[in-house]
Amino acid sequence: MASLARGQPSDCANPAIDLFTQVSGMLIDVAVLEFQIFDISEPSKQLNPLQVHPEVTGTRASVNVAALCPAGDKLSTGRFVARWTPPIDEAIGTHEVRWFFRLNAGSPEQTFREEFEVLAAVAGFSADGYASVSDLRAEGVAVADVSDARLQQLIALASRYIERVTGRFFIPRVQTLAIDGTGGRTLPLGHPIVGVESVIIDASPFSSGDLPVDPSVYRVYNRHLTQGLVLPDDRDNPKLELIYGEGPVGALGLGSFVWPRGQQNVTVRGVFGYTEPDGSPTGKTPEMIRHATKLLAMRELPLLGSPDQREDAQRRYRLTSERTRDQSYTLEALQLHGAFTGDPEIDNVLVAFVRQPDFGAA
């Protein structure tokens, strides 16, 4: 979840609060974009969100979608930033941005919500962990026991561990992928697709220069976002497919209508990530991954200088009996319960999200 410190701006240099817009898997600019920010840091505010930006209730802040940063608020095709700086007295905790946009001036308005955090301090730029400090506070981690800064570090550590063992990331990220051309109609991409900005073929030795591929001649497989379809689930087989007879070949200009075989000869730029459909253009971090992140972070709460507490936090899943009066306990025999940490509550989640192996099939 993204986070901002009090006094830290969301702007072109630090686009903590940003929006990607896509249609049928292609990143696309919008004609009108507005937003509001609400404080939902307490249970009472979750029932009745408090608008904090703009200050006048019911009004909206406009986003300059026409001009590129820094003159405007457009970061790239289909990506925009909401400019807002939390005041130094802004409430600590979860906030919500509500987006309102129109693809064309006369098209119906679309809207959705995203959560982010306001904290007293943020290490570096806005965080992109899979859980929030507020999540751990809600689980009973007191401010007096663990600082926000340490919780941010533990969430970041847990998030990077999840990426390492699953081979995936679970938030939208801008990526430029260099893909081997397959010699066939389909081009596997590896990472689930949120939206494609451009596809370019390295034409050498066939001709000089690069060949941009017209979006009308290929299909983007991200139906979990565009159609809400998860059976089959395109996140497990993300790809681009050339379409015969459904539009001009355009700039492709090759002898056969296939992705030319080669090594890293197709460049795909866009937004990728294994996200969960929620009605927004990008989806959200899967709730199971968010839960696993919290569990991993909780295991690391005790300091290295407190080995007894660390042992209790990391081995409790093996506990079979305990007598508090004499401070004795019995652990189940050490064995591999899960593929990664040994804790089945965590590993049963992670194994479900492990990226499928790529056998190099076209």
Query: Which pLDDT does position 362 carry in this prediction?
Result: 43
261 and 194 in a common domain: yes
36 and 121 in a common domain: yes
Q: Which whole number is the average pLDDT over 68-81?
A: 97
Q: Domain count of the chain? A: 2
Helix (H, G, I), strand (E, B) or coil at 290: helix
Q: Which whole number is the average pLDDT over 190-205?
A: 89
Query: Which pLDDT does position 206 carry in this prediction?
Result: 55
Region of 160 (left: φ > 0; alpha: ψ -120 to 50; beta: rest) is alpha
Helix (H, G, I), strand (E, B) or coil at 43: helix
Model confidence at 126: pLDDT above 80? no
193 and 115 in a common domain: no
Model confidence at 110: pLDDT above 70? yes
Contacts of 277 (CB under 8 A, 6+ apart): 224, 225, 228, 230, 283
Q: Which whole number is the average pLDDT over 196-218?
A: 83
Residue 332 lies inside a defined structural domain of this protein: no
CA pair distance 57, 69, nearest whole angstrom: 28
178 and 123 in a common domain: no
Peptide bond connecting 205 to the previous residue in cis, omega within 30 degrees of 0 = yes
Residue 12 lies inside a defined structural domain of this protein: yes
Residue 79 lies inside a defined structural domain of this protein: yes
CA pair distance 211, 189, nearest whole angstrom: 19
Contact assessment for residue 133 and residue 148, using Cβ atoms and an 8 Å cutoff: yes
Domain that holds residue 115: 3-127
Domain stops at, among 230, 256, 272: 272
Peptide bond connecting 54 to the previous residue in cis, omega within 30 degrees of 0 = yes
Range with lowest mean pLDDT among 17-21, 29-33, 203-207, 345-349: 203-207
Joined together, the tokens standing for residue 300 give 């690391």
How high does pLDDT run on average in the chain?
A: 87
Residue 148 lies inside a defined structural domain of this protein: no
Q: Which whole number is the average pLDDT over 76-98?
A: 97
Query: Which pLDDT does position 121 carry in this prediction?
Result: 85
Model confidence at 43: pLDDT above 80? yes
Model confidence at 205: pLDDT above 70? no
232 and 119 in a common domain: no
230 versus 305: which is more confidently predicted? 230
Q: Please give the share of the chain, as a percent, with pLDDT higher than 70.
A: 82
CA pair distance 127, 117, nearest whole angstrom: 9
Helix axes 307-315, 287-299, angle to 10 degrees: 150
Backbone angles phi, psi at 329, to 5 degrees: -150, 165
Contacts of 273 (CB under 8 A, 6+ apart): 168, 169, 170, 171, 172, 173, 191, 192, 194, 282, 283
Q: Which whole number is the average pLDDT over 80-100?
A: 97
107 and 222 in a common domain: no
86 and 18 in a common domain: yes
Burial of 167 (0-12, 13-18, 19+ CB in 10 A): middle
Query: Which pLDDT does position 331 carry in this prediction?
Result: 52
Contacts of 29 (CB under 8 A, 6+ apart): 21, 65, 74, 77, 78
Domain stops at, among 103, 127, 151: 127
Residue 147 lies inside a defined structural domain of this protein: no
CA pair distance 343, 296, nearest whole angstrom: 10
Residue 16 lies inside a defined structural domain of this protein: yes
106 and 17 in a common domain: yes
Domain stops at, among 272, 305, 320: 272
Residue 291 lies inside a defined structural domain of this protein: no
Query: Which pLDDT does position 315 carry in this prediction?
Result: 59
> 96: domain CATH number?
2.60.40.1930
Query: Which pLDDT does position 124 carry in this prediction?
Result: 57
CA pair distance 337, 342, nearest whole angstrom: 5
Residue 240 lies inside a defined structural domain of this protein: yes
260 and 194 in a common domain: yes
Model confidence at 273: pLDDT above 80? yes
Q: Which whole number is the average pLDDT over 218-231?
A: 94
12 and 97 in a common domain: yes
Contacts of 82 (CB under 8 A, 6+ apart): 10, 17, 18, 19, 35, 37, 61, 63, 73, 97
Query: Which pLDDT does position 123 carry in this prediction?
Result: 65
Query: Which pLDDT does position 357 carry in this prediction?
Result: 75
Query: Which pLDDT does position 360 carry in this prediction?
Result: 52
120 and 46 in a common domain: yes
| pLDDT tens figures, 274-331 | 999 998 999 999 999 999 999 999 999 987 666 656 566 555 554 444 555 555 555 5
* Closest among 281, 284, 285, 286 to 80, alpha carbons compared: 281
